Structure 1
Amino acid sequence: MSAGSDSILDAFLYETNTLLEQLDSIVLAAEQQDSFSQEDINTIFRIMHTVKGSSAMMEYNSLMTIAHRAEDLFAIIRDKTMDIVPEGLRPELFDLLFQTIDFFRQELEHIENEQPLTENIDTLLQKVNRLIEQIRSGGQQLPEEAAAQGEAAASAGSGQSEFPYGLQVFFDEGCGMENLRAYMLASSVREVCSENDFIYEPEGVDSDPSTADQIVESGFTLFFRNQADRDNAIHSVTATGSVRSYQAVDHSASAAAPAAPAAPAPAAAPAPTPVPQQPAAPVAQEAPAPAPAPAPAPTPVPERPAAPAAQEPAQPAKNAPAKQTQATPVSQKSEGGPHHKESLISVNLNKLDQLAAVVGEIVITESMVTASPDLKGLKLDAFTKSARQLRKLTDELQDVSMSLRMVPVSGTFQKMNRIVRDMCKKLGKQARLTLVGEDTEVDKTIVDSIGDPIMHIVRNSMDHGIEENVQDRIDAGKNPVGEIILSARHTGSEVIIEIKDDGQGVNYDAVLNKAIRNGLAQPDVEYSHKDILNFLMAPGFSTNAEVTEFSGRGVGMDVVKKNVEEVGGTVSIASEPGVGMTTTLKIPLTMAIMDGMEVSVGGSIFTIPIHNIRQSFKISDNDLIRDATGGEMFKCMGSFYPVIRMRDLYQMEGGVTNIEDGILIWLDSGENSYCLFVDELLGEQQVVVKPLPSYLNRFNIKASGIAGCTILGDGNISIILDVSNLYTYAQ
Structure 2
Amino acid sequence: MSTGNDSILDAYLYETNTLLEQLDSIVLASEEKDTFSEEDINTIFRIMHTIKGSSAMMEYRSIMTIAHRAEDLFSIIRDKSMDIVPEANRPELFELLFQTIDFFRQEIDHIENGQPLTENIDSLLQKVNTLIQQIQNTGAPQPPSPGQAGAVAQDQPTEYPDFPYALQIFFDEGCGMENARAFMLVNAVRDICGEGNFHFSPADISTDPSTAGQIIDSGFMMYFRDAEDRENAVHAVTGAGSVRTYQAFDRPQSSSIPAPAPQALPAEQKVSAPEPPEQKTTANAKPAAPSPSSQSSSDAGAHHRESLISVNLSKLDQLAAVVGEIVITESMVTSSPDLKGLKLDAFTKSARQLRKLTDELQDVSMSLRMVPVSGTFQKMHRIVRDMCKKLGKQVKLTLVGEDTEVDKTIVDSISDPIMHIVRNSMDHGIEETPQDRIDAGKDPVGEIILSARHTGSEVIIEIRDDGQGVNYDAVLNKAIRNGIALPDVEYSHRDILNFLMAPGFSTNTEVTEYSGRGVGMDVVKRNVEDVGGTVVITSDPGRGMTTTLKIPLTMAIMDGMEVSVGSSIFTIPIQNIRQSFKVNDSDLIHDASGGELFKCMGSFYPVIRMRDRYQLEGGCSQISDGILIWLESGELSYCLFVDELLGEQQVVVKPLPSYLSRFNIKQSGIAGCTILGDGNISIILDISNLYTPA
TM superposition score normalised by structure 1: 0.75
Matched, 1:586 2:586: no
Task: State the alpha-carbon separation in 2 of the partners of residues 370 and 458 from structure 1.
Answer: 49
Shift of 1:238: 8.5
How many residue pairs align between the two structures? 578
Identity percentage over the alignment? 82
Question: What is the letter of the counterpart of residue 276 of structure 1?
Answer: E
> Relative to 1, partners in 2 of residues 1:325 and 1:628: Cα closer, same or farther, differing over 3 Å?
farther
By how many angstroms is 1:319 displaced?
11
Pairing 1:293-304 to 2, within 5 Å after superposition: none
Query: 2:42·2:78 contact (CA, 8 Å) conserved in 1?
Result: yes
Q: SS of the residue aligned with 1:72?
A: helix
Letter matched to residue 63 of structure 2:
L
Amino acid corresponding to residue 483 of structure 1 in structure 2:
E
Is 1:432 equivalent to 2:396 in the alignment?
A: yes
Whole-angstrom CA distance in 1 between matches of 2:483 and 2:627: 40
C-alpha separation in 2, matches of 1:111 and 1:239:
26
Look up the SS of the partner of 2:368 in the other structure.
helix
Matches within 5 A, 1:638-677: 638-677=602-641
Question: Aligned to 1:607, what secondary structure does the other structure show?
Answer: strand
Distance change (3 Å), C-alpha of 1:59 and 1:242: farther
Name which of 614, 635, 638 aligns with 2:578: 614
Partner of 2:440: 476
Equivalent position SS for 2:580: strand
User: How much does 1:136 deviate?
Assistant: 2.4
Contact 1:449-1:563 within 8 A present in 2 as well:
yes
| Correspondence for 1:380 | 344
* Contact residue 565 and residue 610 of structure 2 kept, 8 A: yes
Shift of 1:581: 0.6
How far 1:355 moved relative to its partner?
0.8
For the Cα contact (< 8 Å) 1:12–1:324, is it kept in 2?
no
- Structure-1 separation of matches of 2:369 and 2:636: 30
Counterpart among 457, 482, 491 of residue 527 in structure 1: 491
Task: Give how far 1:586 is off.
Answer: 0.6
Q: Give me the whole-angstrom Cα distance separating, in 1, the residues matched to 2:277 and 2:131.
A: 32
Match of 1:705 in 2: 669
- How far apart, CA to CA, are the structure 2 residues paired with 1:345 and 1:68? 30
Secondary structure, counterpart of 1:534 in structure 2: helix
> How far off its partner does 1:324 sit?
12
- Looking at structure 2, the residues matched to 369 and 588 of structure 1 have their Cα atoms a distance apart, in angstroms, of 29
**SS of equivalent residue, structure 1 residue 138:** coil
Alignment map for 1:323-342 (pairs within 5 Å): 340-342=304-306
Structure 1 distance, partners of 2:478, 2:235, is 68
Partner of 2:191: 240
| 1:67 maps onto 2:58 in alignment | no
Letter in 1 for 2:191: T
Q: String of CA shifts for 1:341-375, please: whole Å, max 9, x gaps.
A: 33222211111111111110110010000000110
User: In structure 1, how many angstroms separate the alpha carbons of the residues matched to 2:663 and 2:190?
Assistant: 65
Q: Please state whether the residue corresponding to 1:709 is helix, strand or coil.
A: strand
1:659/1:280 CA distance change after superposition, 3 Å:
closer
Q: CA deviation at 1:320?
A: 11
CA contact (8 A) 1:275 1:281 kept: no
Q: Are residues 1:358 and 2:294 paired?
A: no
Distance 1:540 1:325, change over 3 A: farther
Query: How far off its partner does 1:645 sit?
Result: 1.0
- Contact conserved, 2:464 with 2:544, CA < 8 A, in 1? yes
Which of 413, 425, 446 lines up with 1:461 in the alignment? Answer: 425
Residue 346 (structure 1) aligns with: 310
Distance 2:612 2:385 in 1: 53
**What TM-score do you get using the length of structure 2 for normalisation?**
0.79
How much does 1:339 deviate?
6.5
Which residue identity does 1:673 align to in structure 2? S
461, 467, 470: which one aligns with 1:506: 470
CA separation in 2, counterparts of 1:347 and 1:487?
28
Shift of 1:275: 4.4
- Look up the SS of the partner of 1:684 in the other structure: strand
Q: Name 2:181's counterpart in structure 1.
A: none
Please list every run of 5 or more consecutive structure 1 residues that lacks an aligned counterpart in the other structure: 140-186, 193-235, 247-269, 283-295, 298-317, 327-332
Correspondence for 2:232: 277
Gap change, CA 1:387 and 1:351, over 3 Å in 2: same
1:272-322 deviation digits (Å, cap 9, x = unpaired): 55642227997xxxxxxxxxxxxx99xxxxxxxxxxxxxxxxxxxx99999
For 1:73 and 1:453, how far apart are their aligned partners in 2?
36
User: Contact 1:11–1:324 at 8 Å: present in 2 too?
Assistant: no
Matching of residues 183-332 of structure 1 within 5 Å:
191=143, 239-240=190-191, 275-278=230-233
Instruction: Flag the 1:698–1:127 CA change in 2: closer, same or farther, 3 A.
Output: same
Deviations 1:532-562 (A, max 9, x none): 1111111111110010000000002010011
Structure 2: how far apart are the matches of 1:443 and 1:512? 37
Structure-2 change in CA distance of 1:238 and 1:444 (3 Å):
closer
Tell me if the contact between 1:496 and 1:585 (Cα under 8 Å) persists in the aligned partners. yes
Q: Distance in 2 between matches of 1:698 and 1:485?
A: 39
Distance 1:625 1:383 in 2: 51
Taking the TM superposition and a 5 Å limit, the aligned residue runs for 1:98-177 are 98-138=98-138
Q: Is the 8 A contact 2:193 2:233 kept in 1?
A: no
1:54–1:320 Cα contact (<8 Å) kept: no
Q: Name the CA distance, whole Å, in 1 between partners of 2:516 and 2:473.
A: 18
Partner Cα distance (1:398, 1:271) in 2: 62
Q: In structure 2, give the amino acid aligned to 1:712.
A: L
Q: Is the 8 A contact 1:440 1:488 kept in 2?
A: yes
Q: What per-residue deviation string (whole Å, max 9, x for no partner) do you get for residues 79-135 of structure 1?
A: 222222221111111101101100111111111112221222221112112112212
Based on CA coordinates, which of the two structures has the bigger radius of gyration?
1
The 10-residue stretch of structure 1 (470-479 or 381-390) with the greater mean CA deviation from structure 2: 470-479
Instruction: Quickly say closer, same or farther: Cα 1:68–1:634, change in 2 above 3 A.
Output: same
Q: Indicate whether 1:12 and 2:9 are aligned.
A: no
* SS of residue in 1 equivalent to 2:191: coil
Kept in 1, the 8 Å contact 2:503–2:518? The answer is: yes
* Equivalent position SS for 1:31: helix
CA contact (8 A) 1:237 1:243 kept: no
Structure 1 residue 621, shift from structure 2 partner: 2.1
SS in 2 for 1:278: helix
2:232 counterpart letter in structure 1: Q
- The equivalent position to 2:369 in structure 1, one of 401, 405, 409, is 405
Match of residue 486 from structure 1:
450
Counterpart CA distance in 2 for 1:279 and 1:396 is: 51
Q: Counterpart of 1:478 in 2: which secondary structure?
A: coil
Mapped pair 1:562 → 2:526: yes
